[in-house]
Amino acid sequence: MSVLTCDDPAARLELGRLRRAVAALDSRFRRDLRTVAHDPSRVGAAGLTAGVYAIVRSPEWLGRWACPTTCVLLLRGETTWPALRTYQATCFDALYETATWNDWSQLGAAIEDFQETLDQFADAAGWARPGRGPQPDDRAAVSAALQGLLLRLFDEVDGGRSS
């Protein structure tokens, strides 16, 4: 896993886009993102991931990783780990049909932009491969990096307060 540095122009560009995407999110969604970024185990995840919606290797929490948006859907009860395991075998289209993440609302469009920008940032930073996520040995480090990054961005956008 590469380390994000200030002299990496592609990652710097994507970081600016990610900052704007976070700022464009509804404050309630940002609050829930902050909750899952602070403690992914709250929704039964071993950690956060990028580049993929979820990695469900086993029913117990150590085999579960999810992107921040999917974690919010778990927090809100709009999906479940058994459903994610089924989607992993077929496709994750059902996630786009929830009350939160959809293509018929402004909130859903902002979430989609955040999700795409997060994946592009993770790719530019070398943290995760699009469609496949982080290397298995890098999952814990990527999760910690994503958690730290998102919490810093939330502090910047919300002025250091929980929204």
Q: Kindly report, residue by residue over 11-45, the tens digit of the pLDDT.
A: 788 888 999 999 999 999 999 999 999 999 999 99
- Residue 20's domain comprises 9-156
125 pLDDT tier (thresholds 50, 70, 90): confident
Looking at the domain assignment, is residue 4 inside a domain? no
For residue 135 the two structure tokens come to 């290397």
For residue 4 the two structure tokens come to 């994000």
Looking at the domain assignment, is residue 2 inside a domain? no
Residue 22, phi-psi category: left (phi > 0), alpha (psi -120 to 50), beta (remainder): alpha
Looking at the domain assignment, is residue 162 inside a domain? no
Radius of gyration for the alpha carbons in the chain, expressed in angstroms and rounded: 15
Out of 43-52, 74-83, 91-100, 151-160, pick the least confident. 91-100
Looking at the domain assignment, is residue 147 inside a domain? yes
Looking at the domain assignment, is residue 87 inside a domain? yes
Looking at the domain assignment, is residue 85 inside a domain? yes
Looking at the domain assignment, is residue 17 inside a domain? yes
Tell me the C-alpha distance between 94 and 85, whole Å. 12
Model's pTM, two decimal places?
0.87
The count of structural domains within the chain is 1
Looking at the domain assignment, is residue 1 inside a domain? no
Out of 33-37, 84-88, 93-97, 140-144, pick the least confident. 93-97
